[in-house]
């Protein structure tokens, strides 16, 4: 059904790739043919970039693209943007944030709306990311919305997750409460030319060491950058590459794939459940004094 389009995408044709993403994103009949054909290269790394608004995630992604391109790599970038309340489209655009790469032959950038997803990702982020892995790219970068502590879904999608912070991010108590801290593979103190950056980075390292998590024994787990000036980016890229070599050969890779499989199965089984229909059925059920929520949901077993 989509044979010609898939052939274009495999040859890295940008229009073909964009069209495939749109078909998957909008759940066009038969879109599974695209994902089942393209989503097969699990060895292409996915790098997640997350963190609070204003931390400089987009600037960091822009700088990382430059590092990869300089080394002759082909890069795909997914930017998850806040949704418009009117049409669920993306409010921010890739042309505005990364305009110098938009027409580069080795870079593909696509903005997607979060569509209200609380985890900071697009509902079809897994499928679209895997699709891009099958289109001849060497690395896929996913930048999340930046919604705060609830934004941990990226850890179930990316091989390596970077948590981008700034020196003014807050005290240690706030960090210990943040689910993001447990989800991250590496921590980037961006805008490190600001006052207190060194102290903040040292505090982070001490906290991570004290956590007892063996993942944080690596000396490069906390890095400082000034993304707007390109400072620290080469070191960050090297640290990412080293961590990817470790992650690609550990049990975490298997666990990550299993988690993706779980999410996809969960979504497929819930596909025929409509929240609007549930609302009406519950409303009707409440007309009876005998309504019981748990008996009600047995109808969906």
User: Residue 153: CB partners within 8 Å, gap ≥ 6?
Assistant: 117, 119, 120, 121, 125, 144
Instruction: Note the pTM of the prediction, 2 decimals.
Output: 0.81
Tell me: do 283 and 154 sit in the same domain.
no
pLDDT digits over 93-137, tens only?
444 556 688 889 999 999 887 654 444 466 788 889 989 999 999
Tell me: do 236 and 141 sit in the same domain.
yes
Neighbours of 123 (CB within 10 A): 17
Tell me: do 48 and 65 sit in the same domain.
yes
Contact 23, 2 (CB under 8 A): yes
CATH at residue 184: 3.40.50.300
Tell me: do 29 and 44 sit in the same domain.
no
Q: Which of 103, 97, 104, 63 is nearest to 80 (CA)?
A: 97
pLDDT digits over 246-294, tens only?
876 666 667 777 877 787 788 778 777 887 888 888 888 888 878 888 7
Give the domain range for residue 179.
39-269
Tell me: do 20 and 109 sit in the same domain.
no
Tell me: do 163 and 66 sit in the same domain.
yes
The number of distinct structural domains making up the chain is 3
Tell me: do 31 and 160 sit in the same domain.
no
pLDDT digits over 215-247, tens only?
666 667 899 999 999 999 999 999 999 988 887
Q: Which of 86, 144, 134 is nearest to 114 (CA)?
A: 144
Tell me: do 288 and 253 sit in the same domain.
no
Tell me: do 90 and 180 sit in the same domain.
yes
Tell me: do 171 and 223 sit in the same domain.
yes
Tell me: do 114 and 217 sit in the same domain.
yes
Tell me: do 152 and 166 sit in the same domain.
yes
């Amino acid at each position: 059904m989509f044979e010609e389009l898939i052939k274009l995408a495999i040859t890295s044709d940008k229009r073909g790739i964009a069209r495939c993403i749109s078909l998957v994103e909008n759940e066009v009949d038969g879109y599974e043919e695209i994902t089942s054909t393209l989503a097969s290269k699990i060895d292409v790394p996915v790098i997640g970039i997350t963190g609070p608004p204003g931390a400089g995630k987009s600037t960091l992604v822009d700088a990382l693209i430059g590092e990869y391109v300089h080394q002759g790599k082909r890069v795909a970038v997914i930017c998850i943007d806040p949704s418009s309340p009117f049409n669920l489209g993306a409010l921010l655009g890739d042309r505005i944030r990364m305009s110098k790469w938009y027409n580069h032959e080795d870079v593909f950038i696509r903005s997607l709306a979060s569509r209200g997803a609380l985890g900071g990702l697009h509902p079809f982020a897994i499928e679209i990311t895997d699709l891009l892995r099958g289109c001849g790219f060497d690395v896929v970068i996913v930048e999340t919305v930046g919604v705060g502590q609830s934004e941990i879904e990226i850890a179930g999608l990316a091989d390596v997750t970077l948590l981008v912070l700034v020196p003014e991010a807050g005290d240690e108590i706030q960090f210990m409460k943040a689910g993001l801290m447990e989800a991250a593979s590496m921590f980037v103190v961006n805008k490190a030319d600001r006052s207190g950056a060194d102290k903040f980075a040292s505090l982070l390292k001490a906290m991570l060491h004290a956590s007892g998590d063996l993942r944080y024994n690596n000396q490069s787990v906390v890095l400082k950058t000034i993304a707007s000036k390109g400072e620290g980016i080469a070191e960050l890229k090297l640290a990412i590459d080293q961590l990817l070599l470790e992650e690609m050969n550990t049990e975490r890779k298997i666990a990550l794939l299993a988690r993706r499989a779980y999410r996809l199965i969960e979504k497929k089984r819930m596909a025929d459940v409509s929240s609007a229909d549930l609302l009406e059925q519950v409303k009707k059920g409440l007309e009876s004094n005998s309504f019981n929520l748990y008996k009600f949901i047995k109808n969906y077993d």
